[in-house]
Amino acid sequence: MAQIQPHQMLRRPRRLVPGDRVAVVAPSGPADPDRLAVGTSILRSWGLDVVPGSHLRDIHPDLRYLAGSDAARAADFQRAWLDPSIAAVICARGGYGVQRMTELIDWDALRAGPPKVLVGFSDATVLHEAVAQRLGVATLYGPMATTTSFVADAGTADHLRRTLFDPAGTTVLTSATATPLIPGTAHGLTAGGCASVLAADWGTPTARASFAGTLLILEDTNEHPYQLDRILTQLLRSGALDGVAGIVLGSWNGCGRLERVRDVMFERLSPLGVPVLWELGFGHGPSTLTVPLGVPATLDSTAGALTLDVPALCDEMPPAESGES
């Protein structure tokens, strides 16, 4: 299957409306039951009909860091995506496991249907890449149904809600912590996610051939500065970052002293000669923005903002197989 080109705008799913059915699936680690109850309650308070995946509460009998078997997790995701009554697929949590199931999904069958919303971050980075490359569909790098930021931070939940229901009102992304690491402006399609997951995914069948021309978003958690150096160095040496238009950095929760993280980012990324924005406020932090992936945008790192050319979601469902102009 041909991959989507970096400059090619992806199909945008339609925005949500009250009454829509949304599936919650666990493609990675097992969901915490208490946080799952709170998270689904929040989704229902928005007028959504929450449909739990058949294996949402499974735990792998031997590898308890997985939410059930690879086949079961893949089946839940595929079933939700193919169900015409489901408008969005929301991941329950991250952890690890998506890479183990991506080859078990019938991507040709999924491509035949209309695009729908995918929400997740962290380990879901692999799903974002696969959906972009195999289906040509824009997605949302945002909080999941059982993550602490979603269930405990009202601002995080509200930004996801507004992105889902009123995407025209969330085309400018900025935060109090957003400052220029390397000043400048750039334009391209948004792409990326969790840095360590991107590095681990590079070279696999569902990864893209190049991030050239993209505005690459990067964040991570619990990686020491030297580990972040190793991750960035691998992406640089592999050619993954050749031709990238700009870089947008998110949170680095648990990664040690932020000034040391900032030093690593500057030392590794400044030779690229592109604008780099420090700490836009998305990812593994206690509060997080929802960042659309696969949408054309302008990065102004000097002003501390990422501005989408178009809303993340559209008002009407686009045709199943055609791209947008």
Nearest to 143 by CA among 160, 164, 129, 126: 160
Angle at 90 between CA 284 and CA 212, to 5 degrees: 65
Structure tokens at 54: 């058949």
Contact 99, 204 (CB under 8 A): yes
Position 25: which residue type? V
3-state secondary structure (DSSP) of residue 290:
coil
How far apart (Å, rounded) are the C-alpha atoms in residues 192 and 205?
A: 16
Nearest 10 degrees: Cα torsion 17, 4, 100, 29: -30
Residues in the chain: 325
What is the DSSP code string of 294-313?
S-EEEEETTTTEEEESS-SS
Structure tokens at 34: 């208490």
Structure tokens at 252: 């680095």
| β-bridge mates for residue 179, sequence order | 278
Positions of E strands within the chain: 21-25, 49-52, 86-91, 117-120, 139-141, 172-174, 179-182, 185-194, 214-219, 246-249, 276-278, 291-293, 296-300, 305-308
Contact 324, 312 (CB under 8 A): no
DSSP state at residue 5: P
Residue 122 appears among annotated catalytic residues: yes
Contact 179, 303 (CB under 8 A): no
From 129, 219, 223, 279, the catalytic residue: 219
Residue 324 appears among annotated catalytic residues: no
Contact 160, 119 (CB under 8 A): yes
From 122, 149, 175, 301, the catalytic residue: 122
From 55, 128, 159, 284, the catalytic residue: 284
Residue 159 appears among annotated catalytic residues: no
Catalytic positions, please? 122, 219, 284
